Structure 1
Amino acid sequence: MRLRSGSRDEPEINLIPFIDVLLVILIFLMLSTTYNRFTEMEVRLPTADAEPSTTRPREVIVAVAADGRYAVNRQLVADRSVEGLAAALSGFAKPEAGGNGANGGGGNNTILIISADAAAPHQAVITVMEAARRAGLMQITFATQTTGKAAR
């Protein structure tokens, strides 16, 4: 009687049907899940008794010409240095009466609008920004022109 020599077929687990079942379960879960939409949530906002502020902030317009000249509220500034421009702006940086300092300017509610010529040197605009910092004007914005394309 002969016994088989050592080569035996080992049973294998076929993973392909297992993967198929997992994919079907995954697809089922994805399709049956309801997604919460935050836009449909009912939110009750708290009420406030405070009235909206009717005061507009003061605006200071600094014009920068193409040749580097400065004008503060249409008044030409003779001194083109940072110190001279800061001295011209310092009168506008004084806190208003009743200011609470909530905007970071120590009660200062003044907005500096820089209206620079397109051909003005960049250093002239940087000088205005540095002078505004020294004068305590922290809210700075730039004036621009809108083109016909942007208005459509």
Structure 2
Amino acid sequence: MKFQRKKKEKIDISMTPMIDVVFLLLIFFMVTTTFSRQTEVNIKLPEAEGTEAKDYPKTVSLVIDANGIYSLIGDDNLPHQLINQTRDGLKQELSKLAEHSKDLPFVINAADETPNKAVMTALDIAGQVGFSHITFATVKPSD
């Protein structure tokens, strides 16, 4: 007895529904994604080599030592250590200075071993209280 084989149906996979789903997912993720912009402090970093900076008659100078202790240089050119070394204390002192010297250059003198957190805190607070000309004190490299 001879059996007849059934004809095999040709299997065809349609890619159209899969492409539709992928495009819908792409559109969904594009619409629901939030783009956040980090806050920035606009500063001009000085070069270590080159000409010396202009000599301003008066600047606001903040000294940060290797332990992260803040001191402001007064009119007598001597550093005066802040009584309150917290973030709020620094903000309060810089706010007082910013009331009448906001347009003066704000110079940060930081030691080599100063923690980055202390320097970034000073930069952040100086920008918040309104100083716009922020720079770092540097020395020429020794040959």
TM class by smaller structure? 0.5 to 0.7
Query: Who wins on radius of gyration, i.e. which is larger?
Result: 1
Tell me the equivalent position of 1:88.
93
Q: Does 2:117 match 1:123?
A: yes
Q: Is there any run of 5+ residues in structure 1 with no aligned partner, and where?
A: 1-55, 97-107
Deviating 4+ runs (over 2 angstroms):
none
Describe the superposition over 1:68-123 as per-residue Cα deviations: whole angstroms up to 9, x where unpaired.
10001111012222221111111221246xxxxxxxxxxx3211100001000000
| One-letter amino acid of the structure 2 residue matched with residue 109 of structure 1 | D
- Calculate the TM-score normalised by the size of structure 2: 0.52
| One-letter amino acid of the structure 1 residue matched with residue 72 of structure 2 | V
CA RMSD across the alignment: 1.7
Which is bigger in relative contact order (C-alpha 8 A, separation at least 6)? 2
1:2-151 pair list within 5 angstroms: 56=56, 58-73=58-73, 74-95=79-100, 108-149=102-143
- Calculate the TM-score normalised by the size of structure 1: 0.50
| One-letter amino acid of the structure 2 residue matched with residue 77 of structure 1 | L
* Distance across 2 between alignment mates of 1:130 and 1:80: 15
Aligned residue pairs total 83
Note if contact 1:93-1:135 (Cα within 8 Å) is conserved in structure 2. yes
Note if contact 1:64-1:120 (Cα within 8 Å) is conserved in structure 2. yes
